[in-house]
Amino acid sequence: MTTHEVTLLPGDGIGPEITAATLRVLEATGVRFAWDAQVGGMAAVDARGTPLPDDTLESIRRTRVALKGPLTTPVGGGFRSVNVALRKEFGLYANVRPAYTILPGRFEAVDLVIVRENLEGLYIGVEHFVQVGDDPRAVAESVAIVTRHGCERIIRHAFEHAVRTGRTKVTIAHKANILKMVSGLFLEVGRAVAAEYAGRVEANDLIIDNTAMQMVIRPEQFDVVVTTNMFGDILSDLAAGLVGGLGLAPGANIGATAAIFEPVHGSAPDIAGKGVANPAAQILAAGMMLEHLGELAAARRVREAVRATIVDDGVRTADLGGTAGTAAFGDAVARRLA
């Protein structure tokens, strides 16, 4: 049996708690891991004086796979977002965020995945103030950079994801009516790639604001949605909200040579250390990692065990209206797997 070497970044705030619960679940799958535990975020600032130590980067360079908890981005002190730095460092161009109904609530059968471009657009943070008269901050300017290569790579990733996972439709979400170049290029490339997949994957395109409304009133129509960085950031939280909130939303950051799996949510300082956070998003992120590592059966079992624990056993954390703590939820999922 293969032993998978994986970099482990438990993260800040609720990170260590949800990571401990996730490791219990992974242990119960029987898949063998050699964890290389590293630090990042505030934990790393405290231990090493920098939010992203070289050892952490070295480890990911070697293992090519990381399971990561949320990292607090220190406010002030000149630190940039560690998450954005990791994406840049390893060229993690695809942010894949599935949202599907576990607990039927407002919607019965949402099952979609947002494929967000992760390296370009407004997110690159090329911005500055312009002084007018004696006001140094009279005008703020930002540059969105979108490349043909970046568009093609992410859109192809979305179509390939559809083919590989048996999904049948890709929606290209854009704002090409207003941003005729920055978003127009994305749409132009999107339509060209879609044509290559004609007959295999259905494709359509929708303007982003309409996409948001459609996703709220009739989310069942979506399968794979591919979009640029900022739109994907917002739309993926919206999608998480449709299916029970951030506690159930996993994500993967994928590049050509490395992949980092993490929950969509942050370090939740308001509930950190209380043992009440929902570890399901982190557990489901670990499930995506199993799939990435080729452990398809274990990935399916983890996904099913989370569903059964919440729905059949009624074991739920506070965010889902229950009383189970973080560790108890993780143990319940692990028992389902045993």
Nearer to ligand NAI by Cβ, of 193 and 306: the residue is 306
Nearer to ligand NAI by Cβ, of 91 and 275: the residue is 275
Alpha carbons 141 and 134: distance in angstroms, whole number: 18
Query: Cβ 75 to ligand NAI, closest distance in Å?
Result: 8
Q: What are phi and psi of 163, to 5 degrees?
A: -60, -45
Q: What are phi and psi of 124, to 5 degrees?
A: -65, -15
135 among known catalytic residues: no
Q: Which does 281 bind (CB under 5 to 8 A by kind): ligand NAI, Mg ion, none?
A: ligand NAI
Residue 268, interface with ligand NAI (CB under 6 A)? Answer: yes
Those residues whose C-beta lies under 8 Å from the C-beta of residue 166, and which sit 6 or more positions away, are none
Pairing of β 121-132 and β 169-174: unpaired
- E-assigned strand segments in 182-326: 202-207, 224-227, 250-254, 259-263
Q: Which stretch binds ligand NAI (CB under 6 A): 139-147, 158-166, 210-218, 264-272?
A: 264-272
Residues present in the chain in total:
338
Q: Which does 253 bind (CB under 5 to 8 A by kind): Mg ion, ligand NAI, none?
A: none
Q: Which stretch binds ligand NAI (CB under 6 A): 24-32, 68-76, 115-123, 168-176?
A: 68-76
Residue 262, interface with ligand NAI (CB under 6 A)? Answer: yes
Map tokens 């002084």 to a residue.
Answer: 131
| Candidate list 175, 197, 319, 331, residue with the active-site label | 175
When binding is defined by CB under 5 A, the residue of 17, 117, 233, 331 that contacts Mg ion is: 233
CB contact at 8 A, 281 and 248 = yes
Residue 83, interface with ligand NAI (CB under 6 A)? Answer: yes
123 among known catalytic residues: yes
Q: Which does 17 bind (CB under 5 to 8 A by kind): Mg ion, ligand NAI, none?
A: none
CB contact at 8 A, 25 and 286 = yes
Q: Which does 104 bind (CB under 5 to 8 A by kind): ligand NAI, Mg ion, none?
A: none
Q: Which stretch binds ligand NAI (CB under 6 A): 27-35, 51-59, 64-72, 223-231?
A: 64-72
When binding is defined by CB under 6 A, the residue of 87, 153, 265, 307 that contacts ligand NAI is: 265
Residue 268 DSSP SS3: coil
Nearer to ligand NAI by Cβ, of 99 and 203: the residue is 99
Token code pair at residue 122: 């407004």
In the chain, count of helices (H) and strands (E)?
11, 12
